[in-house]
Amino acid sequence: MGYAAHRLNNQLCDIAINWAGGLHHAKKCGASGFCYINDLVLGILELLKHHARVLYVDIDVHHGDGVEEAFYFTDRVMTVSFHKYGDMFFPGTGDVKELGEREGKFYAINVPLKDGIDDTSFTRLFKTIISKVVETYQPGAIVLQCGANSLAGDRLGCFNLSIDGHAECVRFVKKFNLPLLVTGGGGYTKENVARCWTVETGVLLDTELPNEIPENEYIKYFAPDYSLKSPGGLMENLNSKSYLSTIKMQVLENLRCIQHAPSVQMQEVPPDFYIPDFDEDEQNPDERMDQHTQDKQIQRNDEYYEGDNDNDHADGSRT
């Protein structure tokens, strides 16, 4: 994630994508919710070396608690999470009243939702809140976590979003034309995860993809219709208009309490994250790298030896 942020910082790209990232539950003190290391926090820290303010947006069905916790006391990162809340749903945090503390008060925004929210309700609320957030906070870069477990039919989710509805959020954030780091996240109906992030890659590249999935070695997973788009679900939407209006008004009222585009004191910028020797722009994206080649690119800094597998010194001692 640090490499993706580095490329954005150095204007080598305007959008960076890491669908394998988005592990938003991991904490500094331990793993949580299938997340061992919070790559999102590491990426944001890298972006903060070049940007005074970074906006984090999370559309995973679960609350982005690890990222929120990491920046709960600072105004340099605003976290905005749209998620299911209540009924003992994991991780149990993300109430609209969780606002941040000290310098970070009002810079943690939570949009708690109930079961069954659909495209129309979700995208209307998303666009209203994110528009006001960007207008007020004026971030220098955005990190967007696109957990696909908010899609209808997810094994662990409880929302009614279609792929088009989910992708509309990505399309909307892209329109701000700010440096954008996009990640994956949760998603437990694997064929829909693949569909979703494929469509959203197309959105980010301004490319309309055909709905028919071409023949490939995984085609059997997309039976029986072999289509790219999946519809919303039929679950009852428990989010009434009055409930969503109340949440919206609370969030907008909290935004009125913050300093407009908070400034940052001058300070020494830490060195960039480690950058690999190879240039990914020179690699053929249609060729998969075998595991052996990938392993050869990994070398611990404390492992130097003469032979390929020789950890012994000439005097017989071991490193």
Catalytic residue selected from 6, 24, 25, 166: 25
Q: Please state at what angle helix 2-9 crosses helix 39-47, rounded to 10 degrees.
A: 20
Handedness of CA 218, 222, 224, 227 (dihedral sign): negative
CB 183 within 8 A of CB 39: yes
Q: Please name which of 31, 48, 287, 29 lies closest in space to residue 181, comparing C-alpha atoms.
A: 48
Phi, psi of 43 (to 5 degrees): -65, -40
The total of other beta-carbon atoms located within 10 Å of residue 148's CB is 29
Walk across the sheet containing 15-18 and list its strands: 15-18, 180-183, 141-145, 54-58, 77-84, 108-113
Active site residue 260: no
Place of tokens 């009002």: 106
Give the distance from CA 272 to its chain's centroid: 21
Q: Please name which of 298, 318, 301 lies closest in space to residue 310, comparing C-alpha atoms.
A: 318
CB 237 within 8 A of CB 201: no
* Cis ω before 112 (30° cut-off from 0): no
Question: Which residues, other chains included, contact 53 with Cβ-Cβ below 8 Å and sequence gap of 6+?
Answer: 75, 76, 77, 78, 137, 138, 139, 140, 261, 262, 264
Q: Please name which of 126, 104, 217 lies closest in space to residue 171, comparing C-alpha atoms.
A: 126
| Residues acting as catalytic residues | 25
